[in-house]
């Protein structure tokens, strides 16, 4: 994802601090969904920590396995945070549950090779299967559209995630999409905070 160990470490620290600040502010403003999203985003940002470990050559096998776990579990983690809220009906929750269950099955079977290639950025073997990539985006879309409320705010957040990923691809190259995403991810909670006042 990030370009090197230093970038990974800096973006991890900035991302955690940003998420905690936005979460605290959201709690003080009674913006429950924003607080949960910002808190949950720390799980997403933790990828930078494991990438720092990979770049630093710290027990590469363990760091790569942890990066794999944190990466593929982003969708189920966000799902569990939002499915407990009483903001949507049983039908939306049931559909989201089915989609996330299917996502988890796709991610875990057949077992993905767990390895990382360094060539100016980090390429993860588990994303070489395009079905897994599609499942990831479908899982994210299901959580934001079915569980996160207010609806228009959640759609703005989801659209922003997809736009930032597209920009990452366009501004660098498709094989290194996550390299620029490393920077974009840090500020996503701030963007969600701004949307909470506009939408």
Asked whether the bond before 40 is cis by omega within 30 degrees of 0, the reply is: no
Give the residue extent of every domain in the chain.
5-198
Element housing 118 (H / E): strand 116-118
What is the reported pLDDT for 5?
A: 86
Question: What phi and psi, each to the nearest 5 degrees, are found at residue 173?
Answer: -165, 165
Q: 24-72: per-residue pLDDT in tens?
A: 999 999 999 999 999 999 999 999 999 899 988 777 789 999 999 999 9
What is the reported pLDDT for 179?
A: 63
Please say if the pLDDT value at position 180 is more than 80: no
Please say if the pLDDT value at position 173 is more than 70: no
**Three-state secondary-structure class, residue 50:** helix
Question: What phi and psi, each to the nearest 5 degrees, are found at residue 70?
Answer: -65, -35
Q: 99-158: per-residue pLDDT in tens?
A: 999 999 999 988 888 888 776 677 788 988 999 999 999 999 999 999 999 999 999 999
Q: Given pLDDT bands bounded at 50, 70 and 90, which one contains residue 17?
A: very high
What is the reported pLDDT for 118?
A: 74
Mean pLDDT of the 73-100 span:
96
Tokens standing for residue 110: 């057949």
What is the reported pLDDT for 172?
A: 63
What is the reported pLDDT for 167?
A: 83
């Amino acid at each position: 994802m990030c370009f090197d160990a230093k970038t990974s470490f800096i973006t991890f620290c900035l991302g955690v601090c940003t998420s905690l600040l936005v979460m605290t502010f959201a709690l003080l403003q009674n913006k429950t969904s924003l607080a949960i999203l910002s808190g949950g985003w720390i799980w997403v940002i933790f990828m930078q920590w494991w990438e720092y470990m990979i770049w630093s050559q710290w027990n590469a096998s363990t760091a790569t396995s942890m990066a794999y776990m944190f990466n593929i579990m982003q969708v189920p983690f966000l799902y569990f945070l939002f499915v407990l809220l009483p903001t949507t009906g049983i039908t939306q929750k049931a559909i989201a549950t089915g989609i996330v269950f299917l996502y988890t099955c796709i991610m875990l079977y057949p077992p993905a090779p767990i390895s990382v290639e360094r060539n100016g950025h980090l390429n993860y073997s588990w994303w070489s299967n395009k079905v897994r990539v599609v499942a990831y985006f479908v899982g994210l879309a299901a959580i934001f559209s079915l569980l996160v409320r207010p609806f228009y705010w959640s759609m703005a957040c989801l659209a922003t995630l997809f736009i930032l990923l597209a920009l990452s691809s366009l501004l660098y190259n498709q094989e290194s999409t996550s390299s620029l995403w490393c920077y974009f991810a840090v500020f996503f909670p701030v963007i969600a905070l701004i949307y909470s006042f506009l939408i």
